[in-house]
Amino acid sequence: MIFLTALPLFWIMISASRGGHWGAWMPSSISAFEGTCVSIPCRFDFPDELRPAIVHGVWYFNSPYPKNYPPVVFKSRTQVVHESFQGRSRLLGDLGLRNCTLLLSNLSPELGGKYYFRGDLGGYNQYTFSEHSVLDIINTPNIMVPPEVVAGTEVEVSCTVPDNCPELHPELSWLGHEGLGEPAVLGRLREDEGTWVQVSLLHFVPTREANGYRLGCQASFPNTTLQFEGYASLDVKYPPVIVELNSSVEAIEGSHVSLLCGADSNPPPLLTWMRDGTVLREAVTESLSLELDEVTPAEDGVYACLAENAYGQDNRTVGLSVMYAPWKPTVNGTVVAVEGETVSILCSTQSNPDPILTIFKEKQILATVIYESKLQLELPAVMPEDDGEYWCVAENQYGQRATAFNLSVEFAPVILLESHCAAARDTVQCLCVVKANPEPSVAFELPSRNVTVNETEREFVYSERSGLLLTTILTLRGQAQAPPRVICSSHNLYGTKSLELPFQGAHRLMWAKIGPVGAVVAFAILIAIVCYITQTRRKKNVTESPSFSAGDDPPVLFSSDFRISGVPEKYESERRLGSERRLLGLRGEPPELDLSYSHSDLGKRPTKDSYTLTEELAEYAEIRVK
C-alpha cells in the first residue's frame, strides 16, 4: 500500500500543462462498491488562442469515437444520455474552468468499463482525448497479506476499500482477528492518481496454528444497509514438527514391521528414514512409512526420522527390538588340562531377551546365570573325574540351543585295585586296569623268569580302551606249577606306575593246599585219563599222530589266532568267552583262549609249536638277552 505525503503527481502535471495544447488528465483506473457512487476526477486543456465563449463536453462509455455511436454517459449541450445512465450521471466539474469531473450514482456491475471525455469548444474545435479511466465495480474489500508470512515474525495485514463517493464514506472493521492483535485504522488516504481509499492495518505475530486462518474485513456505509466483506487465508510458513512416530517397537524375528513418521510443516517437509547414517527411504510428504519384511536380529537398533524444509528441521528416533531365540552357544577356553591345573571355560551366546545360560555335566548343573549372554565356569584344580563331555545350554521364551564340548584332563597312570591274576586249570590270566590320559603303555613283568611282555605282543596280551580306562589281559597257558609273580607297569608322559598283581580265586588256594606231592598225584591221574581217552578214540578209527604218546604230551603256550581243526568255531568261542567272563568279570571279548584239548586234538597240531611254558619263556628270555 502506498502512503501519500505530498501533492499528487496528477495535479502537478495539470499545473505544468497550461502551455496551450489539447490534453486531459484522469485516473487510469478507479473502483467503487456496487450500489454506491463514484467521482471520476478529470481535468482537460486546450490551446489558449482558441478562447471559446462557452465550453461543452461529452462523456462516452467504452469508445472515444462518435462515429461508433458509443453510449453517451453525459452531454452538456442536450443532457441526452444513454438509458443505462439516465438519472445516474452528472457533471461535478466546471467545464469553463477546464474541470470535467464526472459523478456516477447507484452503480451496478454493467457500468464497469472505460470512460472517455470529449471537449467541445464549438465549430470544428472538438477533441476526443485518448486518455480514459477504467471503472471497476467491486463488492469485496481488498485484504493485502505480505507474500511471505513466517511463524514468529511480526506481519502487517491491510484492508483497503475505495472512498471515491462524496455522498457515502465507508467504515472498516476486522472479522476473526481475535487472538491476532488489535487493528489500527489509518483513515482516508489519497492515492497517486487522485483517488481516495480507506485503510485499516492489523499487526500481529503469527504462530503455526494460524496457518490457514480466515481473516476478514468488513466495509459498511452508515445510514444504509450496504455491507461488504472480504476474506483472506493466512499462509503461515513454519518449520517441521514431527507429530506422529511409533513408540519403541518389539517384533519377533521373521515378522513384518511398519514404522510410521508424520510431520506438520508449511511447506510440506522432506521426510527421511535413516539408520546409522544410511538413508533408507525419503519423500516430500507429510507422512512416510518404513516397511520391514521378515525382520532379522541385524535390523535391531535405532531408527531416525528427519523432517526438514526451508524454515527448519526436526528429528526423532524410535527403537526396534527384534526378539529371537538364542544362537548356538560358543565355547572359548581350555579344553585340555593337566591334573591340578585351573580351568576356565567361557560360554557365550546372543539372543533377545538375554537367555538363561547353564553348564552341566551328566545332568548335573555346574554353573548358571539368568538374563546374561556369557557364563564362565571355573574349575580351580581339575581331577580325572572332571574329564568328559559338558553341555552349555542357552534358552529364552523363543527357543533353546545347546553346544557340547569335551574337557580332557591329562594325568599319570593309576592302576586300579580290581587288577589281579587268576588261574584256571593250566592257564593263568592277569588283568591290569589302568586309568590314564593320554593313553599309557602297559607291560607285564615276570621277575622270577626275567621276562617282560608288553602290549604289542598280541600273542599273549589283549588290550581294550573305554574312555579313560585301559584294560590289558595277559594270558599264560601250561602253568602246571605254581603261577609266577606278575607285575603290571604303566607309563605315559606324566609318569609311571607299577603294581604286583595279586592272585585271586579257588585255584590259587588249591596250589597252596596240595603241595608238591599232591601235584605229582594229580599229574599221574591226568595222564591216566588222557591215556584212557586216547585208547577209546583209537577204537573209533581216529588217526593219532605218531610223534606223540599219552605220557609225553606237555603243556603248551598257543597263539590266540590258532584254531583246532574239527572243533566248531561257535562252540569253541562261546566256551572260552564264558570261562573268561566268569574269571575276570570283563565287558568285551578278550583273545580266544585254548584251555583244554583231547589227546587226539593235540596230535593234529604241528610238532614245531609244541613247547612247555618253561622252554618257551627261557627261549624268549634268551632272545631278549641277545
Cis peptide before 440 (omega within 30 of 0): no
* Residue 16 grid cell: 505544468
Give the tens place of pLDDT for each residue, 213-230.
899 999 999 999 999 999
Give the tens place of pLDDT for each residue, 162-172.
999 998 999 99
pLDDT the model gives residue 249: 93
Q: What are the b/e assignments for 114-131, b being 16+ CB within 10 Å?
A: ebbbbbbbeeeeebbbee
Give the tens place of pLDDT for each residue, 255-274.
999 999 999 999 999 999 99
Residue 586 has pLDDT above 50, yes or no: no
Give the tens place of pLDDT for each residue, 141-185.
999 999 999 999 999 999 999 999 998 999 999 998 887 767 776
pLDDT the model gives residue 334: 67
pLDDT higher for 286 or 586?
286
Residue 460 has pLDDT above 50, yes or no: yes
pLDDT the model gives residue 300: 93
pLDDT the model gives residue 17: 40
- Span of 185-194, 354-363, 378-387 with lowest mean pLDDT: 185-194
Write down all domains in the chain, each with its CATH number in brackets. 23-137 (2.60.40.10), 140-234 (2.60.40.10), 243-321 (2.60.40.10), 330-410 (2.60.40.10), 416-504 (2.60.40.10)
- Span of 22-36, 158-172, 399-413, 502-516 with lowest mean pLDDT: 502-516
- Span of 74-83, 234-243, 461-470, 603-612 with lowest mean pLDDT: 603-612
Closest CA to 342 of 304, 306, 287, 383: 383
pLDDT the model gives residue 534: 65
pLDDT confidence tier of residue 404, bands split at 50, 70 and 90: very high
Residue 30 has pLDDT above 50, yes or no: yes
Beta bridge partners of 233: 214
C-alpha–C-alpha distance, residues 514 and 453, integer Å: 30
pLDDT the model gives residue 562: 32
Give long-range contacts, CB 8 A cutoff, 24+ apart: 312-315: 312/238, 312/239, 312/240, 313/239, 313/240, 313/269, 314/239, 314/240, 314/241, 314/242, 314/263, 315/242
Helix/strand/coil (H/E/C) assignment for every residue in 107-157:
CCHHHCEEEEEEEECCCCCEEEEEEEEEEEEECCCEEECCCCEECCCCEEE
Give the tens place of pLDDT for each residue, 85-137.
999 999 999 998 999 999 999 999 999 999 999 998 887 888 889 899 999 99
Residue 373 has pLDDT above 50, yes or no: yes
Residue 617 carries which DSSP code? Answer: H
Task: Say which amino acid occupies 81.
Answer: V
C-alpha–C-alpha distance, residues 497 and 596, integer Å: 35
Give the tens place of pLDDT for each residue, 195-213.
899 999 988 889 998 899 8
pLDDT higher for 14 or 522?
522
C-alpha–C-alpha distance, residues 209 and 226, integer Å: 33
C-alpha–C-alpha distance, residues 604 and 361, integer Å: 57
pLDDT confidence tier of residue 12, bands split at 50, 70 and 90: very low
pLDDT the model gives residue 6: 33
